[in-house]
Amino acid sequence: MIINQQNLRDLFTNFNAIFNKTIEETEQNYLKVAMEVPSASSDENYAWFGQIPSMREWIGDRQIQNLSAHTYTIKNKDFELTIAVNRNDIADDKIGVYKPLIQDMAQMVRRHPDELVFTLLGQGFTNKCYDDKIFFADNHPQGDSKLIQSNKGTKKLSATTYAEARAQMMTIKGDNGKSLKVIPDLLVVAPQNEAVARQILFAETIGGSTNVNKDTSELLVVPELADHPDQWYLLCTKRAIKPLVFQDRQKPKFVSLDKDNDDNVFFRKEYIYGVDARCNAGYGLWQLAYGSTGEVAE
């Protein structure tokens, strides 16, 4: 290939088209457990977390419900992924060998929200959420009362512990003391727990008895959780608010440094192609999630 600015523009257009096509074709899972929130600044404050309003009989004046009881801020972060293409490869028409690399870049970028969101689940037994308690904890306060509630377990995944988690989630109350009407619908596990989870949710019988848990939830097996093989999570995901948050400030943008006077070209004979984005993830409502460390036998 003759190296000139027109051919380099055509090459960038080709790489960009491959990148965008792969982005569209790559499946994501984070939206199953996280609500996506557009961001317009360096951070966003979710002061209303925990103040889930409910209807009441209208007697006397309206009662204005406070939506600023907490301070929980998610700060956006910058992310990038960059590769270098040798000028000789372009001159020798070896562009085809870079197509899989561009496709792999796009897949990694597309799945980056999955990595951010599901990493939070794995860290949910150590990281705090909006009420200043650990996300999966047994001491979440119920509003201003002295009552506490739990969304944490320690037992290994089994039909019995799954049923216990479902019952525990459905008894969770809001800060006003009323039921939140939580119905768990998604079981999330690491690959090491997939067989057990499939038996719980899809088998007709377990141990010779009718499987009463069959089809009570969907199943999501998450490779990003492989470092936490014993942990498992039961989530309520059908509401507008979800257990986790993905905050989007700037969508991934494919850019290049390919002009003759760019330092990388002048000094190293390299054309640079990269992607950058601004975003972050955080915890939503702990009431919509149950997590077990899986460290204790049933």
Q: Taking the complete model, does pTM exceed 0.85, yes or no? A: yes
The pLDDT of residue 4 is: 80
**In contact, 181 and 172? CB cutoff 8 Å:** no
Give a yes or no: residue 78 inside a domain. yes
Give a yes or no: residue 61 inside a domain. no
The pLDDT of residue 54 is: 57
Q: How many domains does the chain have?
A: 1
The pLDDT of residue 67 is: 46
Counting as low any pLDDT under 70, the low residues of the chain are 50-57, 59-70
Give a yes or no: residue 149 inside a domain. yes
The pLDDT of residue 260 is: 86
Place of tokens 């925990």: 50
Q: What CA–CA distance (Å, rounded) separates 84 from 152?
A: 46
The pLDDT of residue 68 is: 47
Q: What CA–CA distance (Å, rounded) separates 195 from 112?
A: 26
CA angle 114, 117, 119 (to 5 degrees): 100
The pLDDT of residue 95 is: 78
Give a yes or no: residue 77 inside a domain. yes
Give a yes or no: residue 130 inside a domain. yes
**Phi, psi for residue 292 in degrees, rounded to 5:** -125, 140
Q: What CA–CA distance (Å, rounded) separates 286 from 15?
A: 42
Give a yes or no: residue 101 inside a domain. yes
Q: What CA–CA distance (Å, rounded) separates 31 from 190?
A: 18
Domain of residue 261: give its range.
5-26+35-54+66-296
Q: What CA–CA distance (Å, rounded) separates 251 from 218?
A: 29
Q: Can you say whether residue 272 is alpha, beta or left, with left for phi > 0 and alpha for psi between -120 and 50 degrees?
A: beta
Q: What CA–CA distance (Å, rounded) separates 268 from 243?
A: 47
CATH number at 106 reads 3.90.1690
Give a yes or no: residue 60 inside a domain. no
Give a yes or no: residue 248 inside a domain. yes
